[in-house]
Amino acid sequence: MNSSFKRFQQKFIEIVAPKHEVPITRWTADGLWDLSWLRALLLTIGIILLGIGGSFTVQSNLGTAPWTVLAQGISVQTGLPLGVSFFLVSLTLFLMWIPLSLKPGYGTVANTIFFAAGLQIGVDYIPTPANAFMAYLLLLFGIFITGAGGAMYITCGLGTGPRDGIMLAFTGIAKMPFTVVRAVIEIFVLTVGYFLGGDVGIGTVIIALLIGRSFSFWFNFFGKFPPKANPLTA
């Protein structure tokens, strides 16, 4: 009985948080500010796709991810557009990097701006679904697009977004595993967002279960583009 539960627990963890390594690609930077036109373009496209993926989940009306729920709640209470609310959340977290002595990269700054832009573009132009089937289709497509954009942006190697940076900082402070710290923070954020009026539903659970799989799929895909061998060192 005990061994069966452990196998179930291990399988559940593998589904929710599959093991993956961020691949080194031909566009991966050597430093947080190691910019090139291609790298900056891919990173910008990736972050915008990340935001648009989030907007698909919002438009499904089935519930969305914790930080978006918080932004929705702020939007409900203030009347601000969702993208603006998310930008203010990201900006607040970014400013928290200063007392925590975190070092931002170009990707950190770009994430603060372009994610909110992508989110607002999607919310403005993606119609709400006419039935439950289309709602779930929108949700799943949003998860797929979020994984694509997130993996593209992360493989550029130009720094984490404001939210992940804060989680990493608190992981060091709390001396606890990253997964535990992330869970505690996101449950808190989700709860605050819910009481402010954000959408929490079955979609929130589906996102939690499938988003890791989506990232893993796209990390594997982008891993097929390794750095070109240098003929002088080959």
> Is residue 20 in some structural domain?
no
Cα torsion through 136, 55, 59, 68, rounded to 10: 100
Question: What integer pLDDT is reported at residue 66 of this predicted model?
Answer: 95
Q: Which two tokens stand for residue 188?
A: 């808190």
pLDDT, one tens digit for every residue, the chain (234 residues): 567 766 766 665 555 555 567 899 999 999 999 999 999 999 999 999 999 999 999 999 999 999 999 999 999 999 999 999 999 999 999 999 989 888 999 999 999 999 999 999 999 999 999 999 999 999 999 999 999 999 999 999 999 899 988 888 888 888 888 778 888 899 999 999 999 999 999 999 999 989 888 998 999 999 999 987 655 444
> Is residue 156 in some structural domain?
yes
Q: Are 70 and 185 in contact (CB under 8 A)?
A: no
Question: What integer pLDDT is reported at residue 234 of this predicted model?
Answer: 43
Q: How far apart are CA 203 and CA 1, in angstroms?
A: 32
Question: What integer pLDDT is reported at residue 2 of this predicted model?
Answer: 66
Question: What integer pLDDT is reported at residue 121 of this predicted model?
Answer: 96
Burial of 40 (0-12, 13-18, 19+ CB in 10 A): middle
Angle subtended at Cα 162 by Cα 206 and Cα 79, rounded to the nearest 5 degrees: 70
> Is residue 189 in some structural domain?
yes
| DSSP letter string, 154-202 | HTTTS---HHHHHHHHHHHHHTS-HHHHHHHHHHHHHHHHHHHT---SH
Question: What integer pLDDT is reported at residue 173 of this predicted model?
Answer: 85
Question: How many structural domains compose the chain?
Answer: 1
Q: Are 155 and 22 in contact (CB under 8 A)?
A: yes
| DSSP letter string, 36-95 | -HHHHHHHHHHHHHHHHHHHHHHHHTS---HHHHHHHHHHHHH---HHHHHHHHHHHHHH
Question: What integer pLDDT is reported at residue 212 of this predicted model?
Answer: 84
> Is residue 77 in some structural domain?
yes
> Is residue 22 in some structural domain?
no
**SS3 category, 143:** helix
Q: How far apart are CA 165 and CA 156, in angstroms?
A: 16
Predicted TM-score (pTM) above 0.75: yes
The domain in which residue 182 lies consists of 34-222
Question: What integer pLDDT is reported at residue 232 of this predicted model?
Answer: 46
> Is residue 69 in some structural domain?
yes
> Is residue 21 in some structural domain?
no
Integer distance in angstroms from the first to the last C-alpha of the chain?
Answer: 54
- Angstrom CA distances, 193 to 117, 126, 162, 166, 213, stand at 20, 23, 18, 18, 25
Q: Are 149 and 53 in contact (CB under 8 A)?
A: yes
Angle subtended at Cα 109 by Cα 105 and Cα 112, rounded to the nearest 5 degrees: 135
Q: Which two tokens stand for residue 179?
A: 């997964």
Q: How far apart are CA 147 and CA 15, in angstroms?
A: 15
> Is residue 229 in some structural domain?
no
